[in-house]
Amino acid sequence: MAREVPEETMMYRVVGEDAEKPRDVLEAVYKALKERGYNPINQLVGYLLSGDPAYITSHGNARGLIRRLERDELLEELVRDYLED
């Protein structure tokens, strides 16, 4: 008997460890950069403009955290927070 194939692509979103909130990620990365003596604002801007993860320290798993999210998600959070305050 042939198996029926759905005609539409299904999207699944896993909730849990990978469902990081952009604000939490930005705060954790900011803290890690500051702890390592970097200028967190300059480093984050460099990352957001270039996409180069080398701008973000690996200290505290900051680089791994920030790479879990798309840059547009991070920018959206920054603009939303700036305009809503």
16-73 pLDDT, tens digit per residue, is: 445 689 999 999 999 999 999 999 999 999 999 999 999 999 999 999 999 999 999 9
Return the HEC string of 18-84.
CCCCHHHHHHHHHHHHHHCCCCHHHHHHHHHHHCCHHHCCCHHHHHHHHCCCCHHHHHHHHHHHHHH
Whether the pTM exceeds 0.85: the reply is: no
Q: What is the pLDDT of residue 8?
A: 72
Coil vs helix vs strand at 2: coil
If you search the block for the tokens 């930005």, which residue do you land on? 26
